[in-house]
């Protein structure tokens, strides 16, 4: 498995980070909007956001005093391809 996929799946291993991605599917959001539903200090939330950015799943852009976050599809597509390949491998094994 490539290091990109390791980083991707590591980023998805936390429920807070998965919730952020689920929210961003609806469209861009500010860091404060993303952090609001989570019961944690902002610096802790920012570490979660940093993991998502390092994995390439989230891109953030500062507009004035507001940092807006957007979801990125490329890592999701790479993981989807790997999962499809794994599914085929396991289906072939089950047929034997």
* DSSP string for 39-78: -S-HHHHHHHHHHHHHTTSEEEEEETTEEEEEE-SHHHHH
Q: 25 is in which domain, residue-wise?
A: 3-95
Number of domains in the chain: 1
CATH, residue 48: 1.10.10.10
In 3D, which of 43, 68, 55 has the Cα closest to residue 18? 55
Output the tens digit of pLDDT for each of the chain's 96 residues: 578 888 999 999 999 999 999 999 999 999 999 999 999 999 999 999 999 999 999 999 999 999 999 999 888 888 888 889 889 888 888 886
Specify whether the CB–CB gap between 53 and 67 falls below 8 A: no
Query: Over the Cα atoms of the chain, what is R_g?
Result: 16
C-alpha 91/C-alpha 75 separation (Å) is: 24
């Amino acid at each position: 498995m490539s290091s990109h996929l390791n980083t991707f799946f590591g980023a998805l291993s936390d429920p807070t980070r998965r919730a952020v991605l689920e929210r961003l599917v609806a469209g861009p959001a500010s860091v404060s909007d993303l952090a609001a539903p989570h019961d944690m200090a902002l610096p802790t939330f920012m570490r979660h956001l940093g993991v998502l950015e390092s994995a390439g799943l989230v891109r953030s852009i500062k507009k004035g005093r507001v940092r807006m976050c957007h979801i990125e599809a490329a890592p999701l597509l790479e993981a989807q391809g790997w999962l499809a390949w794994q599914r085929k491998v396991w289906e072939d094994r089950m047929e034997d």
